[in-house]
Structure 1
Amino acid sequence: MRIVILALALSWASGALAQEPDTLAAEDGWRSDLVLAVNGNQSSFSNWQEGGVDALAVTSSLDGSFDRVIGRVLTTQTLRLALGALRQDTLDIRKALDIARYDVTAERTGGPLRPAVAASFRTQFAAGFDYSPTADEYPTLEVVSGQELKVSDALAPLVMSQSVGLAYRPGGGFVGRAGLGVKETFVRIERLRPLYGNDPDQALRVEAGLDVELALEQELMENVVLRSRLSSFQAFNQVASDAPDVLFENVLLLKVNDVLNVSLDGAVLYDADVSPDAQFRQALSIGMAFGIL
C-alpha cells in the first residue's frame, strides 16, 4: 500500500509542476463553489418470472470550497456533507453513504513553499450498524446472533486534527502540506470507545505526530474532473509498532450537462487502532447537481 501511495503522490506532483501557478489576490474577494447533488436509483418487480428485488436508494450531498486572500494570508475551506438511505424489498431502511467533513487552512502567500496551519473535523450524521456481527469482530460488545449491532453514531467517532508546518502549492490544482500535528479521537458513546482505540473511560484520545496531506483537483478531459486527497498521520508513540493512519479519498465526476452528473466515489482508510486491515468504501451515483454559489 505504501508503494502505491508513493507512486500516486509522485505522479500528482509531476503533473502539477507542469502547470501554471494558481492565482488569487486580495482584491478578488471570495472564490466560492457550493454544489447540492441528489442521486438515486430504483428498481421494482411485479410478476416478473426471472425474479428480482425491489430497491430504492437516495443520496444527498453538499460540497463546497471557499478561498480568500486576506492581507498576505490565503485561507482555504472545504466542506463535504453527504447522507444516503437504502431500502431493499422487505428490509428496513438502512444507512448508505454518511459523511460530515470540514477542513480549513491558512497559508502565507508568496512563492510555492509557504508556512501554513491547518485543522480538520470528520464525523457522521446517523447511527451505523453491522447487520451480521460476530463475537470475534467485537470482543468488547455484546453480540447476539441474528441481531444488528450498533457500531457508530454522530460524534462517535469525531476525528479532529490540527497541524503547523509548510504548504507546497506549485499550481495545477495540486497542494502538498506537511508539519507537526495533533490528532484527537472523540467518542461520545462509552461502549463504542474501544472500537476506535479509546479506553472505556476515555472520551477523548490525543496523539501527537507528523501530519501530511496531498490534494489534487484536475480536469482529466472535457467535463471529467478528478478530486483526490491523501491524508497521513504518524503518531510518535506508534513509529516502531504501527504504520501511519491513512485516508485516501477520490471522486471522479462526469458532467453530462449543466444538471445531470455521474460520479464515482471511493475511499481507503487504514487505522491500526480501529482495524488491522484496510477499510474500503465505494459508491457509483447518477443524479442531479445544482450550483448554489
Structure 2
Amino acid sequence: MKKILAVAILFGALSINAQEKKKEETKDGWNKEGNISFLFNQSAFNNWLAGGVNNISGTLSLNYDFNYTKNDWTWDNKLIASYGLTKIKKEELQKTDDRLELNSLVGKKASKYWYYSAFLNFKTQMSSTDVDGIQTSHFFSPAYFQLGPGMLWKKSDKLKVNFAPATSKLILVHSHLTDLGSAFGVDQGESSRYELGASISGYYKAEIMKNVSIENILNLYSNYLEDAQNVDIDYTLNIVMKVNKYLSANLSMQAIYDDNAFQGFQTKEVFGLGINYGF
C-alpha cells in the first residue's frame, strides 16, 4: 500500500499543478502527434589502465498519439514501440529494450470533465529472448490484454484519469514456455491466465521548463479473483530535453510490480543522446 500511496501522491501533485494552468481548447476531428527517436551510446578504451570494455548500443523508439473528438465523444489512442541492442566486445549482440504497446480509450461525455468510458490495452514484445541458450519469450508470448468499461476524467489530451472497476485481463504465452514451470503469471502446463479486477490509468504530460517536457503514464490493477490487496503497478516516465529541432537528451524509466510474474520491482532505465523526428 505504501508503494501505491507514493505513486498516487506524485500523480496527484502533478494534477493539481496542471489544474492551475489555463484550460486547453479542444477542436473536433483528429489531433495527431508523434515522435521517432534514436538513442546512441558508445564507449571505447585503448591502453586504458583503469579498465573498461568497448561497447556500443542503440535504441529506436516510437511514441505516437492519435486522438479524435466529435461533439460529446472522445477517442484517445497511443502507440508505444521501442527496440534496443548493445554489443560488448567479445560478446554476442544482446537485446536491451523490446516493447510494443497500444492503448485505446473511448468516452461519451457525462458532465463537464467526466465521460462514460471503455478502454483496451495491449502489450507484447517484438523478438525472442534467450537466456543460456533457452528461449524465455518471443513475439506475442507473453501478450497482455486488458478491457473494461468505466468512467473517464479528462481535463485535456495531456491530463486524464480512467477508472474501470470491472476490467478483464488476459495473459497469453506459448505452451512450451510453461513446460517446466510457471511463466509470466501463467501456471505450469497452461498457455493463458484470466483475471477480473479493477483498473486505474492516468496520463500527464507537460513542459516543465523551456525545451524540457515530461510524460507520466501510470497503470494500477487489482485482481478480484486472487490476492486483491496485491496491486500491479506499471509506471513509465519519459523526459525529453531538446538541444535543437533534431537533437535531444532523452531519459526513459519504467517500473513494474506484478507479484505473479516476479516477487519485487522490475525496473528499466534508458538514457542517451537522441536524434528525433517529430510529426
What TM-score do the two structures reach when normalised by structure 1?
A: 0.87
Q: 1:228 aligns with which of 208, 216, 230?
A: 216
User: Cα RMSD between the aligned structures?
Assistant: 1.8
Question: How much does 1:283 deviate?
Answer: 0.9
Partner of 1:97: 97
| Superposed CA offset, 1:130-169 (max 9, x none) | 4xxxxxxxxxxxxxxxx35432221111111012111111
Do structure 1's residue 124 and structure 2's residue 134 form an aligned pair?
A: no
Q: Which shows bigger deviation, 192-201 or 8-17?
A: 192-201
Give the gaps of 5 or more residues in structure 1. 131-146
- SS at 1:195 equivalent: coil
Q: CA deviation at 1:117?
A: 0.9
Q: State the distance in 2 between where 1:282 and 1:264 align.
A: 7
Following superposition, the deviation at residue 50 of structure 1 comes to 4.1
**Do 2:163 and 2:199's aligned partners in 1 also have CA atoms closer than 8 Å?**
yes
- Equivalent residue number for residue 141 of structure 1: none
Secondary structure (helix, strand or coil) at the match of 2:15 reads: helix
8 Å CA contact retained: 1:127, 1:152: yes
Q: Where do 5+ consecutive residues of structure 2 fail to align? A: none
Partners of 2:142 and 2:71 lie apart in 1 by: 37
- Percent of aligned positions that are identical: 19
Q: Residue 181 in 1 paired to residue 167 in 2?
A: yes
Whole-angstrom CA distance in 2 between matches of 1:22 and 1:107: 18
Structure-to-structure mapping, 1:65-214, within 5 angstroms: 65-109=65-109, 111-130=112-131, 147-171=132-156, 173-179=158-164, 180-192=166-178, 194-214=182-202
Which deviates more from structure 2 when the two are superposed, residues 224-233 or residues 185-194? 185-194
TM-score of the pair, normalised by structure 2: 0.91
Aligned residue in 1 for 2:17: 15
Q: Bigger CA drift: 98-107 or 109-118?
A: 109-118
Over 6 Å off, 4+ runs: none
C-alpha distance in 2 between matches for 1:43 and 1:239: 46
Whether contact under 8 Å (2:175, 2:189) holds in the other structure is no
Change (3 A) 1:283 1:103: same
8 A contact 2:39–2:250 mirrored in 1: no
- Residues 172 and 188 from structure 1, CA distance in 2 versus in 1: closer, same or farther, beyond 3 angstroms? closer
Q: 1:17 touches 1:172 (CA, 8 Å); kept in 2?
A: no
Q: What is aligned with 1:135?
A: none
Do the aligned partners of 1:207 and 1:235 also contact (CA within 8 Å) in 2? Answer: yes
Q: Point out the structure with the larger strand share.
A: 2
AA in 2 matched with 1:5? V
Q: How far did 1:31 drift?
A: 1.0
